[in-house]
Amino acid sequence: MKIYFAGSIRGGRQDAELYHKVIAALKENHQVLTEHVGDLSLSVVEDKGDKAIYEQDTAWLRECDVVVAECTQVSLGVGYELAYAEAHGKEVHIFYRPQDTQLSAMLAGNERFHIHRYAKEEDLLAQVKAIWN
């Protein structure tokens, strides 16, 4: 399966290490199109330019089978990607920590999205492995 992993970049990199671990778990059995989201040395201003990033990411969103998003760290880009994925009929899974954020009603209230709550990193990785491994 081709998976588009979405996580905050310019919205803040506090959870980047967590993204890295989720991507590693997904990669055991699937192709992750957006591996760079979990790159701990990723610059928030990428050299390739915003237009190229937008064109590449929207192409990957059209190409993927499923979108997996970690939404604890609020990100405009991730919100946009989720709406874009929905508009293209993609299956969308959202993970977040309720103790650290109040998920936007625009996500929490959308019954087409699969919403998964977790408290600790190991719960998140166990849920990801149970669904995709």
Ligand X SMILES: O=c1[nH]c(=O)n([C@H]2C[C@H](O)[C@@H](COP(=O)(O)O)O2)cc1CO
In the annotated binding site, the residues are 19, 81, 104-106
Pairing label, strands 2-6, 91-96: unpaired
CB of 69 to ligand X, least distance (A): 7
Question: Does position 16 bind ligand X by CB under 6 A?
Answer: no
- How would DSSP label each residue in 1-58? -EEEEE--STT--TTHHHHHHHHHHHHTTSEETTGGGG-TT--SS-TT-HHHHHHHHH
Question: Does position 61 bind ligand X by CB under 6 A?
Answer: no
- Taking the least distance from each CB to ligand X, the nearer of 76 and 126 is 76
> Measured at CB, which residue is nearest to ligand X?
77
Would you tell me which residues interact with ligand X (CB under 6 A)?
A: 6-11, 34, 37, 46, 53, 57, 75-78, 81
